[in-house]
Amino acid sequence: MNKVVLVTGASSGIGKESAKLLIQRGYIVYGASRRMVKMADLQEMGVKLLEMDVTDDASMIAGVNEILKNENRIDILINNAGYGSFGALEDVPISEAKYQFEVNIFGLARLTQLVLPAMRKQHSGRIINVSSIGGSLGEPHGAWYHATKYAVEGLSDCLRMELKQFGIDVVVIKPGAILTEWNTIAREKLLEVSGDTDYKAMATKHAKLMATADKSASLPIVVAKTIVRSVVARRPKTRYATGGGAKMILFVRHLLSDRMFDWLVLSLLK
């Protein structure tokens, strides 16, 4: 029996590459995104498309119901949809902060709630949450984004223990620097929000540093392959660090004290 997979944020980057790899492996794949037109190539490959906004409850309910109606099961949920918006905490409107939480944590949690009854009924399933190395460390101007990723990490740890009794596993994917739209959006927001405030000097340097990070970033396919590994593994790891120097950066963070890590990061912005 082919397993049924739901991938959010499937219109580009990590989500799109994951959907491609999984359909090639014979999975029944549903790709979800607000931008249907950008998933036309996935549809040609056999991926079934869902118009879904993870901040819109009705669209998530409709999408899950469509899958259950067609397949009568959901085996794997890949919570990949995410949003990065940077700026000094003092400068970022609370409305923008709330939107990041709506996309990165509440949408993820709500979609998980919607698929769990089917997974519990079949006594099997796997929830794969795409977090970030940003869920284990901080940096200037990223307070709200990092807060959402720390939340994903904590939610996943709690959920993993809750769901073990039902035969459902929870996996966290922690990408490093990846060549996607995320970097461009984050640094544009940084300059828009803090590029002309008292934080201007450091914000400008940070935006330039983020731009150069693209040179060492991994392609989305690197993370997608890691996601597939977590899907096919009989007993997956609880966390996978992947791409863009992720393992090295997390190792350095583990070695250094908080003050030493602060010094290291700030030295890059002088």
Which residue from 172, 22, 213, 170 is spatially nearest to 82, judged by alpha carbons? 172
Name the residue type at position 259.
R
> Encoding tokens for residue 243?
């791409």
pLDDT score recorded for residue 119: 98
Structure tokens at 8: 């959010």
pLDDT for 182: 85
Q: Which CATH superfamily is domain 4-267 in?
A: NAD(P)-binding Rossmann-like Domain (3.40.50.720)
Task: List pLDDT tens digits, range 197-224.
Answer: 999 999 999 999 998 887 789 999 999 9
CA gap 108, 54 in Å, rounded:
7
Low-confidence ranges of the chain (pLDDT < 50): none
pLDDT at residue 166 in the model: 98
Cβ pair 48, 30 in contact under 8 A? yes
In this prediction, residue 149 carries a pLDDT of 98
pLDDT confidence of residue 232? 97
Out of 27, 145, 150, 199, the active site residue is 145
**pLDDT tens-digit series, residues 110-121:** 999 999 999 999
Alpha helices in 87-244 (DSSP H): 94-101, 107-122, 143-163, 181-194, 200-213, 220-232
Provide the whole-model pTM.
Answer: 0.96
> What are the φ and ψ backbone dihedral angles of 256, each rounded to 5 degrees?
-90, 150
Q: How many CA atoms lie within 13 A of 252 on its CB side?
A: 15
What is the tens place of the pLDDT at every residue in 165-176?
Answer: 999 999 999 999
Q: Is 99 in the active site?
A: no
Going from N- to C-terminal start, the domains of the chain cover 4-267
Task: Give the number of other CB atoms < 10 A from CB of residue 167.
Answer: 13
Say what angle helices 143-163 and 94-101 make with each other, to 10 degrees.
Answer: 30
Beta bridge partners of 48: 30
HSE-up of residue 86 (Cα within 13 Å, Cβ side)? 24
